Amino acid sequence: MLQLRVFNRLLQHFYWRTQESTKSLLPGFPSQLWGGYRSTWHRNKSSLPDVRERTLIAVKPDGVQRRLVGQIIHRFEQRGFKLVGLKMVQVSEDLLSQHYCELRAKPFYPSLLHYMTSGPVVVMVWEGPNVVQTSRKMVGHTNPTEAQAGTVRGDFSVHVSRNVVHASDSLEGAQREIQLWFQGKDLLNWECCDQGNMMED
Ligand code: DAT
Ligand code: MG
């Protein structure tokens, strides 16, 4: 059993080195795609979560207007996730219609578009093990009346039409949304100096 674990670790180490060296041969390739590729590999071949998993978090116009940006960033930093991209944007209807493409037929879609374009949005990419699923838990239920206290929506909102924050709902959704909102060059691969305190290298 121990031998199997050691072998697994060696295999991962070798794989990671190969990915890094291959990546340098393909400088134009969007870096977030590498994160996704590794995620799939890790989910299939190893029980260890992918430390490079990424998700898209956005503070919606109501959250920005209510000066909640700092508190929301604080929660993700406090949890131990790593910020790899951040910007403030006045979002276009075109981008939003792609972002919310699955909701186009919903009766609330026109008012959702109107609200999301009513002011600036602060959009971020966070990285860490299981960050997609954990972020959804931290953000809470879509409808704030159902959201648990301690979640962002459970602590800061009362109505589904003003639920403060967006979080990608799946690994595939996160990859799609990150590519929609960010260019690969705007996401930073940086080493956090205390990473060894947060997770096994
Ligand atoms: P989530 O944001 O939790 O992923 P979603 O993708 O189903 O939820 O919907 C996107 C946003 O649309 C949601 O954050 C708020 C808005 N919305 C959803 N259901 C709604 C409803 N019944 N009335 C008004 N707005 C709604
Ligand atoms: Mg959603």
Rounded average pLDDT over 105-113 = 98
30, part of any domain: no
Distance 141 CA to ligand 1 centre (A): 10
pTM: 0.81
Within 6 A (CB) of ligand 1 lie: 103, 108, 112, 142, 160-161, 163, 166, 169
Check pLDDT > 50 for residue 6: no
Average pLDDT over residues 106-132: 98
Inside any domain, residue 165: yes
Q: Whose CA is nearest to atom 16 of ligand 1?
A: 161
Is 29 annotated as contributing to ligand binding?
Answer: no
Task: Give the C-alpha separation, 194 to 168, whole Å.
Answer: 26
29 lies in some domain: no
Residue 90 belongs to some domain of the structure: yes
- pLDDT value of position 46: 59
Which residue is closest in CA terms to ligand 1's atom 7? Answer: 142
Residue 61 maps to which CATH number? 3.30.70.141
In a domain, 155, yes or no: yes
Q: Is 18 annotated as a binding residue?
A: no
Total number of domains in the chain:
1
Residues labelled as active-site residues:
166
Q: Which residue is closest in CA terms to ligand 1's atom 1?
A: 142
Query: Could you tell me how far CA 15 lies from the centroid of its own chain?
Result: 24
pLDDT at residue number 44: 44
176 labelled binding-site residue:
no
Residue 33 covered by a domain: no
Residue 113 lies inside a defined structural domain of this protein: yes
- For 152-189, the pLDDT digits (tens) are 999 999 999 999 999 999 999 999 999 999 999 999 99
Tell me the per-residue pLDDT of 23-78, one tens digit each, with 9 for 90 and over: 333 333 444 444 443 444 344 445 788 999 999 999 999 999 999 999 999 999 99
Residue 132 included in any domain = yes
pLDDT at 199: 86
* DSSP letters for 89-151: E---HHHHHHHTGGGTTSTTHHHHHHHHTSS-EEEEEEESTTHHHHHHHHH--SSTTTPPBTB
Domain that holds residue 79: 54-182
DSSP lists the bridge partners of residue 85 as 125
Would you state the pLDDT for residue 4?
45
Q: Above pLDDT 90, what percent of the chain? A: 71
